[in-house]
Each structure stands twice: as C-alpha cells, then as structure tokens.
Structure 1
Amino acid sequence: MEIIVISGPTASGKTKKAVAFCKERNGEIISCDSRQIYKYLDIGTNKEGIFLQNGLRRIDGVLQHLTDTLNPDQNYSAAKFVKDADLKISEIFEKGKVPVITGGTGLYIKALLYGLDEMPKADKTLRKELKTKSQDELYNILLKSDPGAAEKNKKNPQRLLRALEVNILSGRTIQEHFKSKSPRYNFGHYSISIDNKILYKKINERCKYMIENGMIEETQKVLNMGFDKNCPALSGIGYRHIIQYLEKKISKENLILEFSKDTRHYAKRQNIWFKAQPDVDFMFY
C-alpha cells in the first residue's frame, strides 16, 4: 500500500489539493505542520474546516488528523511527528483508506519517509543553561559549529536552542542526523511549485487578512491564558511579530510588513528544501 505526500510552500494551496485528492481516492489527511499541532492558534496557522475532537478536524467532508493536540508551551519534534504519523497511517490503512500527508514542514516529511538517526534527548541541565542566553547569543554560538542551522533558524529561538543542544551533546549537526536511507513507506510525493510573483502576492494578502481578522486577539487570548510569550507555539512567524506590536515596539503597519516579509522568506526556504529532496514530482501552477 502507498501513502501520498502533498507538500509545498505556505499559501500554495496544499490543503485544497489534498481535499480534492481524498474525495477522489477515498483518503484522509494527516497534517504535517509544526504549528497546526497547537491548540488555540487557528487563524495564524491557517487551520481549515471544523474541529471535532482529539486532534481531528473535518474539511469539506474529509477528515484531517494531527492538529490541535498540544498546549502552546509543549515542545514537538520530527521524531514525535513520525511516531504520531505512523500510528495514524496504520489506522487509516485499517479503514481501507489512503493516508495523505499534507504540509510544508519539510524536516517532518523527510523524517517520515526516510527515518532519522537517534538524536540526543533534551538535557535539562544544558537546556537550563542555554535558556539563560539571548536569541542573538544562541545564534552566534551555533554559527561557529553549524552555520547552516544557525542561518535557517535565526529568528526561531526554540529551534536555535535545539540545534545547539544536539550539536553540543552529539558533536554532530542536525543535518548529519538525517542520512539518506531506504524509504520507510511506498509513497508518491507531489510538491506544489507556484510562480513566486503569484505566491508572494497571495502571502501578502493572507498576512494582512489574518492581522485584520482576529490574529492579534488570538495571540492576546493565549497570553491571557497564562502562556509565556516565549513558549514554542508563539515563536512562529506572525505570532512573534504580534507580541512586538502588543509590547508597542512596532506599529500595526510595520507588523503587517514584517510578518509578510518573513513569510515570503520562509516560503523561499521551503521551495529550496523541496527542490533538493529525492523522489519528488512537482505540480506547477
């Protein structure tokens, strides 16, 4: 049996394509999104459909798994995603349906399809020490031993910390833990490729729409629930910009501009990632 993967940059229409495929091939979606896994953050992560229960949503009659399962202060990883996705794949196969992995978190997709080497577990003592350092300090330290991970995660303190922790504990970079292996599944991987001019226009429009339609209030609500502004869920693009706005460090106009710019940069990195992966068929738009 074969699983299907539909990937691509943010705002490229992955979920719409996955829903259409599921209707045609009797499938169910497994979300592969490191942000949609969190509860309470719906607008900024662009969740679709209706939330049912236990990480399950329904989008236009199609079931979607692995959203809304973690509190904003909980950590998530590629290894945890693989474990969760393996379980959902088995359940969907048992129903005689096709699992359709859908999302733009490339590292999770690669780990699911090809596996990953055992990485060191979080070290409480080391992590406590690293958390005393600023984001810039973490970046500068990591830059010396793993410049690729430092640049990729420059604006994400949680991932900077984890990459540095892995490097210190194992003496190896994050990427060195992802060796090329035989596939874990029979799969078809289809990645959406869309003209940058069209994609960036969609991103700009989406970011502005999110800000003007409740994302600021959504962020404030999570903070009011007692979650720290530096918790994993709020470290993502958009939410960290809103926190700056709420702290009166930037204007609303600059919030939208910075949010849009960083999202465009993220989409560019996603495109580069998927083009470098093996066994991918591209769908051009």
Structure 2
Amino acid sequence: MSQSLAPLIAVVGPTAVGKTAFSIALAERIGGEIVNADSRQIYRFMDIGTAKPTPTERARVPHHLFDIVTPDQAFSLAVYQELASRTIAQIAARGHVPLLVGGTGQYLAALLEGWRVPRVAPQPELRQRLAEEAEQHGVGVLYERLRRVDPLAAARIEANNLRRIIRALEVYEVTGQPISQQQERQPPPYRTLTLWLTMERAELYRRIDARVDTMIAAGLVEEVRSLLARGYGWELPAMSSLGYKEFRPYFEGSAPLEVCIERLKFNTHAFVRKQEMWFRRLPHLTRLAADEHALDAALRIVRERQLVG
C-alpha cells in the first residue's frame, strides 16, 4: 500500500462496547479528528437514543458529521459517502489523522471497501407505490421481481428486507441498470487500519442493559415525546430506528413502558449480532479486546503500520 496515501483509521465495534471513549482517547494521542459512521447520529434532536458523544466529549477533539440533518430529511448512503470522503480529505489536508468511528456496517464498508454507490435520489412516489404493493400482496412479490431484474442484488439482500428491496428496484426503474452493476468497487484512496473493539457477549449484554437504563433515566422517553411533538412521525426512517421504534406501543397506548424498555434491550442484543457480520468483512482488520490495555495496543499497531509520524 502506497505511503503517499492518506491514513484512515476506523474504530468499529458493537453498540455499548466503548467506541466513543476509546476513539477520543486515541485521537488525542495521535492528532486525530473523528468522523461519524453511525447512521442515527447524523440526526438532530436524537441525542439520548443514539448515544451521541456529549458536548464535553466533543470539545476534546474535533467531531464531524453529527447533527447534520433533521429526522424528516432524506439521507442516503451515497450522500454519506460523499460527505465523509470530503471530510476525510479535509482532515488529511490539515495534517491530522481521520478516525472513522461508528457501528453502521454499510457506512463503514462503503468507505473502507471503496464502494461505488448509485447517485439516484429518493423517488417518494415510486417508493410509496412499491410499499403499498408489498402491503397488499406481500414483500415476496417485490423480492421475486428483484430476482428477475437483478439476481445478484437479490442474493445479497434478505428476502424480508423491504427497504433495501425497494431501493434496488428504485435504482433499476430510474436508471434501467441493475443496482449490482452500479456497486462495483475500487481501492479507496487511503492507507486503512480497522480496529475492531470486542467484548465477551455476556458482558456486552450487561453493558447494553445498563446503558438502556441510563438512557431512560437521562430522559429518553421525553426525547421521543419531543420528537413526536415536533411532527416527526413513526413512518420516518429515523423514527423507525433502534432506540425509538420500541416506544411506539407505549405512546399509542398498547403496551406499558416497562415492556417497551425490555424490548429495546432485546432488540439491541439482536442488533449487535448483526453488526458483527459487517465487521468481519472489513479490510485491514485487527481485533482489540475492549479493556484497559486497548489504547496502548492500538497506539503500538498504529505506529508499526506507520500511520502516524
């Protein structure tokens, strides 16, 4: 890998493993700036449920791509990739080290694997029509259509993942080309290192449950109420994300709060298992136990790879 390429260090790991504290400490030691790779932390007004870095934490090192859109604004992987690539280049031009930090697999893979993401803007009317068709006839009808026009994309998408199926059909209808042909990869213009923070599953689940309790105490339910009061409905992708969708039954009067809290813990356990599937595929991957030795181990690896001076 050419030494002329700018360094890019990704800090990845499951929800609640400690990415925020670790990445800030690492950035302070190597002159780094943090670039968000969490698809929910891009939204304004959604702070507690997304576990954003606090204002105090953000003041320690520069943070980028947090709070950049409102929950009702359209935002795509292509837009994220463009913004993140530009931000990384600007950080490198300042002589600092960009740290890509988060747990959203698609965001991470798009940058680290050099995806070419189709620049097709959302088509609300088309999406609505496809969603209504799925509601009337089942998701399987759309999935079979996708298998006919783009079997490679269908093989990569779960048969019940309505959002991704609709996106693939949307790209095909707008461009006339399968989305799989438009997702070819090219080597990214970085010298990359991916640090995967790991933890024993039982301990991670304990930390998740404790963090959910802390979120509730910090006002998560009030945050959801405030979002609804601002007019952000449950149909929005932002409001259907982990940490928010679980409280819909409570606000609609169909379940007590305690049940919703337990559902959030259960869903987060399931989510971290899905995150692991994405992390395993990332390039230049090094696993680090998320313990008191992690920072020293990371600094040693970064210097050995000559990613900092």
Q: Of 255, 264, 284, which residue of structure 1 is paired with 2:260?
A: 255
Residues 94-133 of structure 1 show CA distances to partners (whole Å, capped at 9, x for unaligned) of 3221111100011111111233234244334422312435
- Secondary structure of the residue that 2:116 maps to in structure 1? coil
1:182 aligns with 2:181: no
CA contact (8 A) 1:104 1:270 kept: yes
Aligned to 2:122: 122
Mapping of 1:273-284 within 5 angstroms? Answer: 273-284=278-289
Taking the aligned partners of 2:50 and 2:199, their CA distance within structure 1 comes to 20
Structure 1: 5+ residue runs without aligned partners?
A: 51-56
Cα deviation for residue 187 of structure 1 reads: 1.4
- Secondary structure of the residue that 1:102 maps to in structure 2? strand
Residues 207-237 of structure 1 show CA distances to partners (whole Å, capped at 9, x for unaligned) of 2322343111111111111122211211101
Q: Which moved more, 1:68-77 or 1:182-191?
A: 182-191
Aligned to 1:54: none
- Secondary structure of the residue that 2:132 maps to in structure 1? coil
Cα deviation for residue 158 of structure 1 reads: 4.8
Taking the aligned partners of 1:141 and 1:224, their CA distance within structure 2 comes to 36
One-letter amino acid matched to 1:254: V
Aligned to 1:232: 237
Identical-pair percentage: 31
CA contact (8 A) 2:38 2:102 kept: yes
Aligned to 1:140: 140
Alpha carbons of 1:96 and 1:281: their partners in 2 closer, same or farther (altered >3 Å)?
Answer: same
Q: Which moved more, 1:67-76 or 1:124-133?
A: 124-133
Aligned to 2:157: 149
Alpha carbons of 1:113 and 1:277: their partners in 2 closer, same or farther (altered >3 Å)?
Answer: closer
Residues 55-81 of structure 1 show CA distances to partners (whole Å, capped at 9, x for unaligned) of xx8535112110111010112222111
Aligned to 1:106: 105
Alpha carbons of 1:22 and 1:13: their partners in 2 closer, same or farther (altered >3 Å)?
Answer: same
Aligned to 1:216: 221
Taking the aligned partners of 2:23 and 2:213, their CA distance within structure 1 comes to 25
Q: Of 12, 15, 21, which residue of structure 1 is paired with 2:17?
A: 12
Cα deviation for residue 48 of structure 1 reads: 1.5
CA contact (8 A) 1:229 1:243 kept: yes
Taking the aligned partners of 2:137 and 2:18, their CA distance within structure 1 comes to 37
Taking the aligned partners of 1:212 and 1:177, their CA distance within structure 2 comes to 45
Structure 2: 5+ residue runs without aligned partners?
A: 1-5, 148-153, 291-309
- Secondary structure of the residue that 1:235 maps to in structure 2? coil
Q: Which moved more, 1:164-173 or 1:236-245?
A: 164-173
Aligned residues: 275
CA contact (8 A) 2:116 2:186 kept: no
Residues 6-49 of structure 1 show CA distances to partners (whole Å, capped at 9, x for unaligned) of 11111111111110111100111011110000000100000122
Residues 139-189 of structure 1 show CA distances to partners (whole Å, capped at 9, x for unaligned) of 4345544365336x75xx655543453466567466x75445323311111
Alpha carbons of 1:261 and 1:143: their partners in 2 closer, same or farther (altered >3 Å)?
Answer: farther
TM-score (norm 2): 0.80
CA contact (8 A) 1:116 1:177 kept: no
One-letter amino acid matched to 2:129: E
CA contact (8 A) 1:138 1:160 kept: no
Cα deviation for residue 270 of structure 1 reads: 0.6
CA contact (8 A) 1:6 1:101 kept: yes
Q: C-alpha root-mean-square deviation of aligned residues, in Å?
A: 2.5
TM-score (norm 1): 0.86
One-letter amino acid matched to 1:281: T
Cα deviation for residue 84 of structure 1 reads: 0.7
One-letter amino acid matched to 2:132: T
- Secondary structure of the residue that 1:271 maps to in structure 2? helix
Taking the aligned partners of 2:199 and 2:216, their CA distance within structure 1 comes to 24
Aligned to 1:271: 276
One-letter amino acid matched to 1:126: L
Q: Which moved more, 1:14-23 or 1:274-283?
A: 274-283
Q: Of 201, 204, 210, which residue of structure 2 is paired with 1:205?
A: 210
Aligned to 2:295: none
